[in-house]
Amino acid sequence: MSVLIRKMEMPKGCWACPFVVGKYYECLFTKKSSNWGLTTRPSDCPLIGVPTPHGRLIDADAFKETIDYYIREANWSDAHNEALGWAKEFIDNEQAVIEAEGSET
């Protein structure tokens, strides 16, 4: 599971990150001590920026399953089903805001 923290800006580096804590300035996620000499975030930083503004973020895979259901179960014309198939292709070709995670990835 992941967490999105609304209104939080992406830290420029460990020195500005609220998830670096303790006596040894340890990252809560990577458990590494911060490298204060870095002027950018380290390559193994687990934080992912979400571009704003953005629209509603939905589960595209679940939406494609819904489309498949209607293609199978609805008594629509072949042209309608073909258009739904194109919609699935359009969904696949869109850039992901947040990549999929979980057992199927």
pLDDT given for residue 35 in this prediction = 67
| Domain that includes residue 80, residue range | 60-93
Average pLDDT per 10 consecutive residues for the chain, totaling 105 residues: 85 88 87 76 87 88 93 90 93 88 65
- 45/71 same-domain check: no
Q: Is the pTM of this model over 0.75?
A: no
Among residues 11, 4, 105, 101, the alpha carbon closest in space to that of 56 is found at 4
Map residue 35 onto helix, strand or coil.
coil
CB 27 within 8 A of CB 20: yes
Q: How many independent structural domains does the chain possess?
A: 2
Residue 54: inside a domain, yes or no? no
